[in-house]
A and B are shown apart, each in its own frame.
Chain A
Amino acid sequence: MKHRRLALAVALVFQVVVLLIVAGPWLLARLTGDEYRLQVQPVDPRDPFRGSYVDLHIRGVPAYSDRNGRAYIALRRNSDGTYRGSGTSASKPANGPFLRCDVDDGEVACGVESFFTSADEAERLGRVLAEGGAVAHVKIDGAGRAAVVDLTAP
């Protein structure tokens, strides 16, 4: 009985560790990052396990690249205080905020491609954003890991 309880406890700890590993980059960005407002464009699809979301594309960040692996996208500040992507490099930019992205099979992914919300809100946001774009509030830490915290109209 004691052996079984110990095995169960170890399994539960393992499950929590696995959960923390998959959620880790986004959790770290939220806890330790600074908030930036990024200009984005939307679409409105659905993930079968996690529901409705708005697909985001950050202005200035290329959707595709001909080089696989890690890529860094520098962020440039606009006159209205928002940021947009500005240049891609294989190494971290020396100055300013940047996004850490992965290029897999040519597709660029920076960890901020979706914003989950209710079905009705996703549809509403999709319409609002299609008309004039939107602003994603994103927390980015020193390593370039990013997590979306909110999505608002410009």
Chain B
Amino acid sequence: MPSRELISSSRLAWLRGEIEAWRGEGLVTPAAAPTIAGRVASALRARGARAVLYVGAALVGAGLIGVVASNLDVDEIGPLERSLLAGLVWIALVALAEGVRDRGTVGSLADPVALLAAIAYGATIFQVTQSLQVPAFEPSLILAWALGSVAYAYATGYKGPLVLGVGALTGWYVWELADRTDVVSALVLGLALATPLATAVAAVHEGSSRAHFSGAWRFTAALVGLGALAVAAESPFQDQDPSVPSLVLAAAIPIVVIALVAAVRGDRRRRIEIAGALTVAAAAVVLVATAPGGGVDVWFEEGVHGAALTHSLVAVGLFLVLAAAIVYVGVIDGAMALAGVGVGALVLFFVAQAVFVVVLSLGSSGWLLLGVGALLVACGLLADRRQRRVARP
């Protein structure tokens, strides 16, 4: 049986009305009318149900990790038994996801169950390492969780585990960057280099059997790109003893090569996206290289002016342009999560500036709201204009 097309609730109501009218005019038979109506379903209802399933699965998974963290007394159940139990729960959930996958209406449960299985894998890692008394705050555990979840996602095509795995991978990456260096420039460069890499990975998925994975990678690219420019905007002063981790420098060339290869193989749209990501990375490198000397003490004592003021204004401007571009791309692609990242970045910028004056003093809250709002209106107008142009026969 062909899968049902999802449309908005208002469109669905209109279609049902039209089908009734056609039946009255004899254009469709009474037997055919319900069959035609059955081919479409409310996108809102379907998306709403799916969202609740994912949130529920995430909460159950968080509960599993909470049970691991509660460290049941040894008298109740020993460390080996706890590890085996965690492993059994993980494997059982993997089996359940496979079991419901092709089972009619409950097939929609497969991806949320797979997400839960990926979380249970993490719980197993934490339980086993806790039982072995592996020291606390060990970042390699997060990396292991990320790699395992990503492998599971690519093997099965489930999106939930991929989102979890890429999220954990990003978290581990930022943790390692922040942990291994005391200099802000290294953090900025590390995040900036991840932007074209994640964008290129998203691009190579297009047209493949895992095309639905590109959204998660594009989301990650947007997040780290915004993060790089945000940190660069917050830190206008050159570190006194800048030292970029050798890993970051060594990764720069292959990352640029990967991005260029993906651009050559992709269509025009993907080439533009990768070019944009490389521009963000280059901008971050320039911001770090041109950061005026001095230090935070000088900033507090003498205020920000001259070269430092120019540097901060440029960094803030680039951040706002990138956020707006992400909103635009998200809207025209129908990728609301991506658009949400851009909107969220603009809102956070407004809050950070209005409440905490994190980067310089850029004017009153009223002017800031005006500026951010105008940027979003401009994005909306551009996106609307493009969609009307595309829809024109």
Contacts and interface: CB of A to CB of B under 8 A. Distances in A.
Interface of A: 4, 7-8, 10-12, 14-15, 18-19, 21-23, 26-27, 30, 45, 47-53, 55, 105, 109, 111-119, 121-122, 147-149
B90 to A, nearest CB: 9
B120 to A, nearest CB: 11
Interface residues of B, number: 38
A8 B156 contact: yes
B128 interface: yes
Contact of A118 (B72, B124, B135, B144): B72
5 contacts: A11-B156, A14-B151, A19-B125, A30-B132, A116-B136
Contacts of B132: 23, 26-27, 30, 147
Contacts, number: 112
Contacts of A113: 135-136
B315 interface: no
B148 A15 contact: yes
Interface string B275-288: 00000000000000
Nearest to A148: B133
A22 B154 contact: no
A49 B180 contact: no
B140 to A, nearest CB: 5
B155 interface: yes
B70 A53 contact: no
B229 interface: no
A81 B71 CA distance: 31
A105 B180 CA distance: 7
A11 B133 contact: no
A10 B136 contact: no
B155 A7 contact: yes
Interface of B: 65, 68-74, 91, 94, 98, 121-122, 124-126, 128-130, 132-138, 140-141, 144, 147-148, 151-152, 154-156, 179-180
Contacts of B72: 118
**What 10 A-B pairs are tightest by C-beta distance, nearest first?**
A11-B155, A51-B69, A15-B148, A7-B155, A47-B136, A26-B132, A148-B133, A51-B71, A113-B135, A114-B136
Given A8-B98, A11-B156, A15-B148, A23 B69 contact: no
A115 B132 CA distance: 9
A69 to B, nearest CB: 14
Nearest to B97: A8
Given A50-B136, A51-B71, A11 B152 contact: yes
B148 A18 contact: yes
A89 to B, nearest CB: 22
Contacts of A12: 91, 94, 152
Contact of B134 (A8, A11, A26, A51): A26
A117 B133 CA distance: 9
Contacts of A21: 144
A22 B135 contact: no
Contacts of A121: 71, 73
Contacts of A23: 128-129, 132, 134
Contacts of B130: 50-51, 116
B133 A115 contact: yes
Contacts of A148: 133
Nearest to B161: A11
Nearest to B141: A22
B129 A14 contact: no
Contact of B128 (A19, A52, A53, A147): A19
Contacts of B135: 109, 111-114
Nearest to B72: A118
Contacts of A49: 65, 68-69, 122, 126, 141
Contacts of B141: 22, 49
A119 B71 contact: yes
Contact of A18 (B65, B74, B94, B144): B144
